[in-house]
Structure formats: structure tokens, C-alpha cells
Amino acid sequence: MNDTIKQLQPTELWRHFADLNAVPRPSKKEERVIAFIKAFGEGLGLPTVVDKVGNIIIKKPASSGMEDRQTVVLQSHIDMVHQKNSDTVFDFDTQGIEMYIDGDWVKAKGTTLGADNGIGVAAIMSILSSTDIVHPPIEALFTIDEETGMTGALNLEGGMLEAKIMLKLDTEDDDELTIGCAGGVDITATSAYPTASVGDGNTAFSLSVKGLTGGHSGAEIHLGRGNANKIMNRILYTLNKEIGISVSSIDGGSLRNAIPRESKAVLLVAQKDVANAQPIFANLVADIKAEYAITDAHLMIEMNATTIPESIMDKDFQAKLFAALYACPNGIYRMSPAIEGLVQSSNNVARVLLQNGNYSIQCLTRSSVDSEKTDLGNAISAAFEMMNAENITFSGSYPGWEPRPDAPIIKIMSELYTELFGEKAHVNAVHAGLECGILGTNYPEMQMISFGPNIYGPHSPDERVQISSVQKFWKYFLETLKRIPKN
């Protein structure tokens, strides 16, 4: 089906997207895609540099007649979020994404598509490889590891770029011009925990939460979708409170920037309490499914008999764990009082793993206000302290991107959008993390704006990109390049 994708319009963009998606490119494992982009630039005979961390910069002179225009940075990230459905057999480390066309959409078979940010990468590649597109001098910047720490942007040295304008192709609604974003920090609690042996007279159950919608933990956190880790903890807490249970293991979520879609646990119920547990569980499941009927219509919660595990959590630790996870903030923490509809601060309880006497709980905390990010981080840390976590770390912190609504490029692109499409673009800030805040620390005078086509369900296997919207984005992008002002 990838050959069919290459026949879509604009063919050059879709061809590059299909070629890119044939290259495995998980965050922090970008060696193959770095080599792919490097070979692409060198194959065009363009100056191509790979910096010390793997960011690639490819420079292209202006097209004929555009030599007097300002140089522009075209920027996208080359890594992608790797998520798949539990019943999908797929190896992200070795396989290319399997795409198909569904009406006006391009989708992937049971996995993330990589349109975030592959469409942006493909659009830049199309400009670099073109022989007839009108454009100013170009500095193409392909960054690594945007999805799991933004280490590419964090380690890009000052002086690598000369341009004073950056067009970032990493927004997921085609009527939006993004001019600001939230900052973030990774919070992790890890430690060992005491275990106990399993006594007689117990029945073991495998508890699973799956079928949640998931999605981007920044851009879609305001939609109120279920978090598998919080739902799992709610069930375990309630069962323990009502009848007393013993938990052997919990494994929920995966990536920090994805709302957890699945969680599983193994627990013990005393044989004398099994009959009482069933109606409690059934009523709780009914309540939860009713609460999430709109946002997560396909939610499934199942508890089935399984084999007896070798060990369980110490009872005292188990109680503290349930309390800490219940207390840990998740979702919206505060809405912006300055920008209507904008989430100012949030947290995603992204990963909960407890097994064999060790645990790791991972969160991604976001805020457009640094002091509030610190405050929310303290609240999360306090929750983990309730379970006597020995190691609570704050890492990968990155700054927000402060909006500059009076920047000339914003005026140019806003007016152009109205001219082309007969309506005003939504000029806004987003709660998702973008690299502009980081890049701006070394290039404080650079005007930055982000835009792109409609990409729905990013960071989930429901990710899809709209074909007609890509065509709209492409038209807008090409005309923008023509409107770049003179030096």
C-alpha cells in the first residue's frame, strides 16, 4: 500500500513520506533515519552537517530571483512515537510503517503513523529536492528525540544557523498558527519494595484495562480521556478497601507523552471472598464505563483467573502505593487565565511498572508557567513521598515558548491565510511541547511560527493524516516561501 501512498497529490511530498516511513525511527534510536537524511542531503549535492548529537542541517541556496530574500529555517523532528494495539504484531525496531488509504485519510495498520512529524520532514525534503519551487535561502533543520526529551534541540549549539525566521512544520490543525507552547519536565519515582510469599487459600486473577482512546498527553489532555494507570489504581484501591486483595504486579502505559491506553495487573483474592468480589467489581466497571462512555467508548475492563504468582507486595507498601497513585495529580491542573481554552498546567501519569520487588512510576508534567510547573512537580513528588519513594528525580526539563504575536512573519502568514482561504487562521499557543522555546535560548532574535495539516490521534494507533488537508497545507507552505521578506 505504500506505493499507492506515493501516487497521492502532491506526489513529491507523499513519496518522501513513504520513503521516510520505511525507515525505523523510534526516539533515542534514530541512527538509521539520521543516516537516511544525511544521505538524502549529500545525494542532492547540498551542504549537509550532522552535529554531535545527530541533528542534521542541510542548506540550499535561494531559487532564481529570490537571492535577496531573508534566509529561512525549515524545521521538523525525525523521530516518532511508537505505539501499537495490543493485538498488533509489529517490531518498530526493524519494520517500516504499514500505511493505507481510508477515504480522505492515510492511516497505519494497528500502529502510530508517524505523520507527527513525518509530514513536516517530507515537506522539507520536497523543497530541498525540488528544481522548480520558488523559495528563499533555506536552512533545513532536522532534530532528533523531540518526543522523549527534546535532547536534539537542547544540544543544538548556537551559531549553527544564520536565519532570523523559522517555519516549524509541526502543528496538527490546518487552521492554526502556533506561536507559543508549554514547557515540561519528566518526573520519575523508582525504588525497591518489600515482597511477601503467597499463602494458601487464594485465587489469582489477571486484571486488564484496555481499549482506551489514549492520544497526545499535551495536545489532547483537555479532552478528558481515560488514563489506564489511574483507572487500574482505582479498581485495585476499591477492591482492597472492600474485601482486601494482594497484588503481585502492575504494568501500565508506555511513553511519557502518550495518554496510557492499557494496563494489566495480577492480584490474589482469598477464596472465601471471590463471590463477594464479583459484584463489587461488576458495579465498579459499570460506573467507570459510564463515566468514560463519550471519550472512551471501547474501554474494556476484564478480570480472569490465572496462575498463582511467586510473590506479592508487602501489605503496608501496597496500601501506600494505592494511596500515592490516587493522590498523584493527573490531567488538567490549571487552565490559563490569560488565554481562553488553553491548558496552562497538566500532568500525565504515563507509566506504572511494579514487579519482582522494584517499581518505576513515570510522569510528564507540562506548564506554560515555569513557577507553576515547579509547584505541580512538588505536588507529584509529595504524592510519591507518601509511599516512601527513595529516588524521585526531575529530568529533561525544557522551557516554554513565549508568544511574540507582533513578529512580522506572523502578520505575513495570518494575512496570507485569509487571502488564500477566505477566513482567519487561529493564532494561538498550545499545551503540547514544541522545540521552539529551547531553540530560542540560542537564537533569541529568531521569529518562529509552527503550522501543518490536520493530524488526528497523534501518539496513538488511531493516528491519521487528512489527504485534502495536506494539499491545503502544501499550497499555503509554498505561497509562504514566496512571501518571505527581503533582507
Which active-site residues does the annotation give? 79, 146
Nearest Cα residue to 322 out of 263, 385, 212, 238: 238
**Residue 399 in 3-state DSSP?**
coil
Contacts of 120 (CB under 8 A, 6+ apart): 75, 76, 77, 168, 169, 170, 452
Helices (H), 188-273: 228-242
- Please report, for residues 78, 261, 331, 350, 365, the alpha-carbon distance to residue 251 in angstroms, rounded to integers and kept in the order given: 29, 12, 20, 11, 21
How far is it, in rounded angstroms, from Cα 88 to Cα 110? 6
How far is it, in rounded angstroms, from Cα 59 to Cα 48? 7
Helices (H), 22-106: 31-43
Q: Is 383 exposed, middle or buried (0-12, 13-18, 19+ CB in 10 A)?
A: buried
Q: Which three cell numbers stand for residue 431?
A: 499545551
Position 286, amino acid: A
B/e letters for 300-317, b = 16+ CB within 10 Å, e = fewer, are ebebeeeeebebbbbeeb
Q: Which three cell numbers stand for residue 438?
A: 529551547
What is the CA 199 to chain-centroid distance, rounded? 43
